[in-house]
Every structure is written in C-alpha cells, then in structure tokens.
Amino acid sequence: MNLIHRVFPYLQRKDKNTKCDFIPNLMNVNSFSGGSMCKQDFKNIIVYRCISLISRNIANIKCFLYDSENNKVSNNYVSNLLIKPNGYETWFEFVENLVTNLCLHGNAYTYLESGEHGYEMYNLNPENVEILKNKYGHAESYKIKEEKNKYNVYNSSEIMHIKFNNPYCPWVGLSPMGCIKESVRFYDSVTKHNQSILDNGGRPSGAFILKNKVDDYEFEKLKNSIALSHKGKGNAGSIILLQSDVDWKDLSISSKDMDFNVGKNIAAREICQAFGVPPVMLGLQDASFSNYKEARLHFWEDTLLPMANKILQKINDLVWVNLSEKDSSLEKFSIKPDFSSVPALSAKSENA
C-alpha cells in the first residue's frame, strides 16, 4: 500500500454528478512540461546538481508562524506543520521534495490532510495528478491516481498546486526539463562517447584492411578472433597478433577534432541557465572567491528568493483556506520566512 493510498482512502468527491472536462496531461516526453523524460534526465550530473542546489537551499530557509504584531507563535498546530509536516518527513525533507518536483515537472502538488492529531501536508507525485476543469474552463479539481486503475477526485481547495509560468497552457506549469532536453541529451551523448573511446583503449572505431584476399572461412575466423580477444574495455591496450598483411584505418575523427568537450561545457552552461544556477557554482569555470561570493548572491536574489516566495504564498493560501473556517483566529496569523540564517543574504546586509 503506497503513501497516497494510506492518506486518501476515506476521501471521496461528494458531487459525483458534476461534469468536468479532462485537461490533457502535458507531462510526457514530447512536451515542454517534462514528465516521463525526467526519470532519465535527473541522472544527468548537471541537472542533479542544479536541482540539489535549488531544493536544499530553499529547504534550509527557516519559516515561522507570526501573529498580527509580528511575534513568533509556537505550540500551534500550524506552527507544528513547519517542523513536522507529516509523519514521514521533516520540514527540510518536505520542502526539498516539493522543490525537486517543481524543477523536474514544472508542477508541485501538496495535499493538506485533517486527522485526529491535527493536520499534515503530503507531496504528491506530479505524474499521478491530472487536472479537471469545469464548463467555464477553470481548473476545478484534481484527479489523483492512488492505485493501478484506481483514481479519486479532490476539490481544488484541498490541493496546493505550484507551477512555473507556461504560455502554452494556463493549468500546467512549464518544466525547465522541456527547454533543455537537447542540451541534456547532447551532454549525455558526449559522456557516453568519451567512455566508449576509453573502453576502446583511447582509439576511435576503425577497420582492419586485408591486403591479401582470404576465403570466407578464414575471414570469419579472423573476425571472431579479433572480436573475442580485442573488443571491449576488458581488452583495451592488448597486443594484437595477425598472420596476414593487415592495415588499420580510423573510421571516425577524434574527439579533439570535434571539440566534444567544448560542446559538453556549452551544454552544461545551458542547463545551468535554464535552472538559474551560476555555472561557477558547479565548478564549470575558474573563479576567485570574490566572484564565487558574488555569483552566490545573484543565485539567491534571481532564483531562490522568487521561488521561495512563490512556495510560501501558496502554503499560506492552502493553510488559511482550509483552516480559517474552523478557527477564525488564524486569520490574524501568517507564515513568514527568516532569512537571517542565510549567509549569502546576511553578508549583503552587513556590507550595506
């Protein structure tokens, strides 16, 4: 039994007769919304590092509950969510997973559950979420896959949907993965090419040319002998011994001639640009300490702060829409970030 099934078994859509049009799921390998291609592309070292830098830094921002006089409030079921959102994750892990989903898919979905012991928030797999719209064309509810061939539908007020801007569709976010698909493929292809060169003893593919004609039997015997004794990385660098008069001819140009590594670095920079991560933070260029410090500050101001504010506003909306009706006093409270613990921003304040 998966997590979603444990969380959602008793929740059913009350209005079963409302007709909704299904918004086609744009999250597939051929679309700009990421989706299934994310599973493979997340294995790319540049993609993984970019998303890790973004998710872990945002997750490291401390958030607290404040009253109308800007005093911190503790021992409250809302403030407890900021410490332990659910029984499986800490606040750091929860935000890290949320941001990872957002960066990979362009969408992040969170469900707020009301239980006997208070409230809990759970991140949902974007690949298991489909959006339904009403007759006016507005997103009305969310269809969530809980088991194989089993779905449940939940009102939009129950689900927090954070998405990147998408000019192609107002309901589904635009994934950075769709924009850098070719760059990721090129980077991985160059890596595999370089590995194959190393496996081949540092030599490109080529051909043995027999100067003397041999019969079919001798030809097959020679071919099998070469493949068995000298093909593959286990035989790299081995000495080859042939009886016939044979020449070797390269069938491909070297990686130096193609400048593969230069292209690989360009692809890596393009990936960083899509995620808003300075390349210097991934070691893609030499830089002094002052340059790295400046790049880190720009990373926070241009990428992390806007994303953190977007997420926090959505969390505030999710909490107050669902909880203020049960407790009107919550309208005077708000969740705010504490940036004083962020070294990059605190250093700027000291220099100001």
Q: What is the pLDDT of residue 17?
A: 39
- What pTM was estimated for this model as a whole? 0.76
The string of pLDDT tens digits covering residues 268-317 is 999 999 999 999 999 887 767 778 888 999 999 999 999 999 999 999 98
Name the percent of the chain lying above pLDDT 90.
Answer: 32
The 10s digit of each residue's pLDDT in 245-257 is 777 776 665 556 5
Give 295-320 as a DSSP string: HHHHHIIIIIHHHHHHHHHHHHHHHH
The per-residue pLDDT for 351 is 58
Specify whether the CB–CB gap between 274 and 267 falls below 8 A. Answer: no
Question: CA 347, 350, 352 angle in degrees (round to 5)?
Answer: 110
- For 114, the token pair is 């009301």
Q: Is 145 exposed, middle or buried (0-12, 13-18, 19+ CB in 10 A)?
A: middle
- CA separation, residue 11 to residues 29, 81, 114 (Å): 32, 21, 11
Averaged confidence pLDDT in the chain: 79
Using an 8 Å Cβ cutoff, are 58 and 99 in contact?
yes
Q: Is 83 helix (H, G, I), strand (E, B) or coil?
A: coil
Q: What is the pLDDT of residues 125-150, one digit of tens each?
A: 999 999 998 888 788 899 998 877 88
- Residue 329 pLDDT > 70, yes or no? no
What phi-psi label fits residue 237: left (phi over 0), alpha (psi between -120 and 50 degrees) or beta?
A: left
